[in-house]
Chains A and B, each alone.
Chain A
Amino acid sequence: MIRLEKKGRNPFIVYGEEKSIEEQLRRNILLTTVDAMLKWSRRNSLWPLPLGLACCAIEMMGAFFARYDMARFGFEVFRFSPRQADLMIVAGTVTRKMAPIVKRLYDQMSEPKWVIAMGACAMAGGPYNSYAVVQGVDNLIPVDVYVPGCPPRPESLIYGIMKLREKIKQEREAKIL
């Protein structure tokens, strides 16, 4: 947004000949729509609620630590309280015993909120087609991005979050409650 025009010139400092009020306005005011601004700010600071349920949680942790370092994209703020999060990463097997808790955590998150289903289990039950496992977290809550794999590599998760960013960017109107 801000372009350094000449080397060594700070765009925030008004230099001698540019002191006129028009010039100052031109440099410091940005016109946009509320929608665009909301979407821009939302997609650049998603705060995830890591719902690490099983093996996929380990790869999710891997994505957040030194080698893959999600902090580069602005998603490193893990919030274990649903009240402070706006992105739920369901990483692992959702069992029937855990299902009401997943639902409740989702309900407790404040709008706008998004969900990533990470791994085969969260997508569709994965290898566990048994009496105890919910066959996909989308039976309980709406899912925005599916990240396949068993477990997905950290790169896949990061790619999934990138896709989610695109999705937020393309929303017709930013959700305002």
Chain B
Amino acid sequence: MKREFEKDTGVKTDIIELNMGPQHPSTHGVMRIILELDGEVIVKATPVIGYLHRGTEKIAENRAYYQVVPYTDRLDYLSPMSNELGYVMAVEKLLGVEVPLRAQYIRVILAELARIASHLVWLGSNANDIGAVTVFLYAFREREKIYDLLEAISGQRMNNAFLKIGGLAGDLPEGWIDGVRKFIKEFPEKLKDPDGLLTKNRIWRERTEGIGIIPRDLAIDLSLTGPPLRASGVERDLRKDTPYLVYDELEFDIPVETAGDVYARYLVRMEEMRQSVRIIEQAIEKLPGGPVLIDDYKIVPPPKDKVYRDIPELIHHFKLISEGFHPPEGEVYFAVEAPKGELGYYIVSDGSNKPYRLRIRPPSFVNLQALEYILPGHLIADAVAIIGSLDPVFGEVDR
């Protein structure tokens, strides 16, 4: 473009640098991208991250194992439940315990609700960035219903800290399952609103089709995970590949697209929400009774009435709250399929009550690498569509 213009007119032009972010409505938090522009076209993009680095991994080294759970909530704050799930399951693997079946089913329900909630924010903000503001209102309307459900069990709308090492913080309140049933019955209908506004909309398709293509090989080379990978034609989902919890007893499909562009990522996520509804439906049907916590009082606190009555339970409670538990020495890696991709926790234990090292493998951090490769060649206006389609969350990218 530059060269042609110079040849035609004889005027010398230059590449300009444009700083996008960290305070920018479309960078989804605090990301900065240094764009080098030739006219309107991006020739080079350099993402700068770290504006939300809070030192989570270092803090975790100074907390007892159970005290780390609230910090994991605040990584990907759009889906706190999935983050907790990864962490508590990693610690459970280290301890070698398995939680009761009822807790496993409830965890599946919560993780899938979190997936829907997270994808709804992505849907709203991606469409909003491209110019379709109404979709945001529809998405938040549904999200508020999920908040209500989560508030009913944990007392807080987000950052719930409901999963505990060894089970759940409590059993479900009465009528909660009916609430979920009502939600998943209505949700597919309600999803038709944004779906009808976007999927066949010509403007939406022109803004997204053929934009930000991640070829299959590049996606694998960059080790992308989650929807950006599946939109590039790789069928990989940890829920199917290395099933955890009770996912292998539930039926669902993994949506895969081959185009690898923004539109394909849109289609994948929309379908994932519908599949999540399917999973929740089955999990509710199969939900067994029984306890939601293991009964090893070295790991989970004993029930309150026993603490008040019996001396041994009181001592267990005191030990656990003041000191925590001591898992065996060793290291463990455990990953779950979070809404944004593979969310892994790598824990090194030296036998003390605190993790010696906690390394988090956040999906959006890895997925964000793709920006550098796919932004060049696009217009600035497409940059916001591409950033939105990768769905980064900076609590997780910067940790």
> Do the beta carbons of A105 and B53 come within 8 Å of each other?
no
Q: Tell me whether chain A's interface is mostly helix, strand or loop, or mixed.
A: loop
> Do the beta carbons of B158 and A55 come within 8 Å of each other?
yes
A65 contacts chain B at the CB level, 8 A cutoff = yes
A48 contacts chain B at the CB level, 8 A cutoff = no
Number of A-B residue pairs having CB atoms within 8 Å of each other in the complex? 90
> Do the beta carbons of B53 and A95 come within 8 Å of each other?
yes
A40 contacts chain B at the CB level, 8 A cutoff = no
Contacts of A86-130 to chain B: CB distance below 8 A: 92-93, 95, 97-98, 101, 105, 127-130
In the complex with contacts A93-B52, A95-B53, A128-B59 CB distance below 8 A:
yes
In the assembled complex, the Cα of A92 lies from the Cα of B159 at a distance in Å of 13
> Do the beta carbons of A55 and B77 come within 8 Å of each other?
yes
Complex interface: stretch among A56-64, A158-166, A168-176:
A56-64
Query: Quick one: which of A58, A93, A105, A130 contacts B58, CB cutoff 8 A?
Result: A130
Distance to closest chain B CB from A131 (angstroms): 6
Query: Quick one: which of A67, A105, A127, A131 contacts B23, CB cutoff 8 A?
Result: A105
> Do the beta carbons of B157 and A95 come within 8 Å of each other?
no
In the assembled complex, the Cα of A97 lies from the Cα of B71 at a distance in Å of 20
> Do the beta carbons of A132 and B54 come within 8 Å of each other?
yes
In the complex with contacts A95-B52, A132-B54, A55-B23 CB distance below 8 A:
no
Contacts of B18-73 to chain A: CB distance below 8 A: 22-25, 29-30, 50-56, 58-59, 70-71
B93 contacts chain A at the CB level, 8 A cutoff = no
> Do the beta carbons of A67 and B55 come within 8 Å of each other?
no
The number of residues on chain A lying at the interface, defined by a beta carbon within 8 Å of a beta carbon of chain B, is 33
Which single residue of chain B is at the shortest CB-CB distance from A99?
A: B51
A53 contacts chain B at the CB level, 8 A cutoff = yes
Size class of the B contact interface (CB-based, 8 Å) = 20 to 34
Complex interface: stretch among B134-142, B203-211, B231-239, B275-283:
B134-142
In the assembled complex, the Cα of A92 lies from the Cα of B141 at a distance in Å of 23
> Do the beta carbons of A53 and B30 come within 8 Å of each other?
yes
> Do the beta carbons of B53 and A59 come within 8 Å of each other?
no
A150 contacts chain B at the CB level, 8 A cutoff = yes
On chain B, the residues within 8 Å of A43 by CB distance are none
A148 contacts chain B at the CB level, 8 A cutoff = no
B394 contacts chain A at the CB level, 8 A cutoff = yes
B395 contacts chain A at the CB level, 8 A cutoff = yes
B335 contacts chain A at the CB level, 8 A cutoff = no
A54 contacts chain B at the CB level, 8 A cutoff = yes
On chain A, the residues within 8 Å of B54 by CB distance are 54, 93, 95, 128, 130, 132-133
On chain A, the residues within 8 Å of B22 by CB distance are 98, 101
Distance to closest chain B CB from A16 (angstroms): 48
> Do the beta carbons of B157 and A153 come within 8 Å of each other?
yes
> Do the beta carbons of B141 and A66 come within 8 Å of each other?
yes
B121 contacts chain A at the CB level, 8 A cutoff = yes
A136 contacts chain B at the CB level, 8 A cutoff = no
Q: Mark B100-138, 1 if CB is under 8 A from A, else 0.
A: 000000000000000000000100000000000000110
Query: Quick one: which of B56, B141, B159 contacts A55, CB cutoff 8 A?
Result: B159
B269 contacts chain A at the CB level, 8 A cutoff = no
Which single residue of chain A is at the shortest CB-CB distance from B140?
A: A65
B293 contacts chain A at the CB level, 8 A cutoff = no
Distance to closest chain B CB from A4 (angstroms): 34
Distance to closest chain A CB from B155 (angstroms): 11
B316 contacts chain A at the CB level, 8 A cutoff = no
On chain B, the residues within 8 Å of A59 by CB distance are 157-158
On chain A, the residues within 8 Å of B171 by CB distance are none
B186 contacts chain A at the CB level, 8 A cutoff = no
- Jot down 12 A-B pairs with beta carbons below 8 A, ordered by A: A54-B77, A57-B29, A58-B78, A62-B140, A62-B143, A97-B50, A97-B53, A98-B22, A98-B30, A98-B51, A128-B59, A130-B54
Across chains A and B, which 3 residue pairs bring their CB atoms closest together, nearest first?
A130-B55, A55-B77, A65-B140
Interface residues of A (CB under 8 A from B): 51-55, 57-59, 61-62, 65-67, 78, 80, 82, 92-93, 95, 97-98, 101, 105, 127-133, 150-151, 153
